[in-house]
């Protein structure tokens, strides 16, 4: 039963074009390009781009440098686990061109860059957050 005092999110993979999934207990490392959204339930490590929405599920972990062209829903972990509460994972930087929704179960030790941030009580942002400026999010065309 859902608690009425909580904000709820409906994730409909078909309507939200989340066509990729990394299942729980799966670990992937490397360079990636996902066409369409991604439901991450395992661990994804490396460099890449997600051309759509990214859902980082509870217990899932995202490590490395990734660019998300849609919204980001963070329910799990961003960055490596650290030994102390004030330590930051310098290797993880996620750039989100949409809104980053950080749920109360989320923990981020990496750098989060997003156009907008919506963070719930209980979420841990151990790493820094930066606002993505419009100039950063739009591609620059060079004439010539």
Partner 1 sequence: MQDREALDRYFTEQVVGEPVVVEMGPSAGVRLEPTRGLKLHLLEGQFELMGHAARGLVSPLQGDAGLGKPVSSLALARARRRLLVGGLLAILVLWSAALWWIFLRFAH
The footprint of partner 1 (CB under 8 A) covers 2-16, 18-21, 39, 53, 71, 75, 101, 103-105, 114-123, 129, 131-134
User: CA-to-CA distance for 99 and 119, rounded, in angstroms?
Assistant: 10
- Nearest to partner 1 of 88, 125 (CB atom): 125
Distance of closest approach, residue 126 Cβ to partner 1, in angstroms: 15
User: 38: closest CA among 71, 79, 78?
Assistant: 71
Distance of closest approach, residue 78 Cβ to partner 1, in angstroms: 16
Distance of closest approach, residue 88 Cβ to partner 1, in angstroms: 18
- Nearest to partner 1 of 21, 91 (CB atom): 21
User: CA-to-CA distance for 82 and 2, rounded, in angstroms?
Assistant: 32
Distance of closest approach, residue 131 Cβ to partner 1, in angstroms: 6
- Nearest to partner 1 of 105, 126 (CB atom): 105
User: 39: closest CA among 24, 52, 26, 56?
Assistant: 56
Rounded alpha-carbon distances, angstroms, from residue 40 to 2, 34, 63: 23, 12, 12
Tokens of 45: 């490590």
């Amino acid at each position: 039963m859902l608690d009425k005092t909580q904000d709820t999110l409906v994730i409909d993979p078909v309507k939200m074009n989340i066509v990729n999934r990394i299942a729980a207990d799966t670990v992937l490392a490397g360079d990636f390009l996902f066409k369409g959204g991604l439901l991450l339930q395992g661990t994804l490590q490396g460099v890449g781009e997600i051309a759509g929405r990214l859902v980082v599920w509870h217990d899932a972990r995202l490590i490395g440098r990734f660019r998300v062209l849609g919204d980001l829903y963070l329910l799990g972990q961003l960055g490596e686990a650290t030994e102390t509460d004030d330590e930051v994972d310098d290797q993880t930087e996620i750039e989100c061109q949409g809104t980053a929704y950080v749920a109360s179960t989320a923990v981020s030790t990496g750098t989060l860059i997003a156009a907008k941030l919506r963070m719930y009580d209980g979420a841990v942002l151990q790493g820094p957050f930066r606002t993505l400026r419009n100039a950063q999010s739009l591609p620059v065309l060079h004439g010539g």
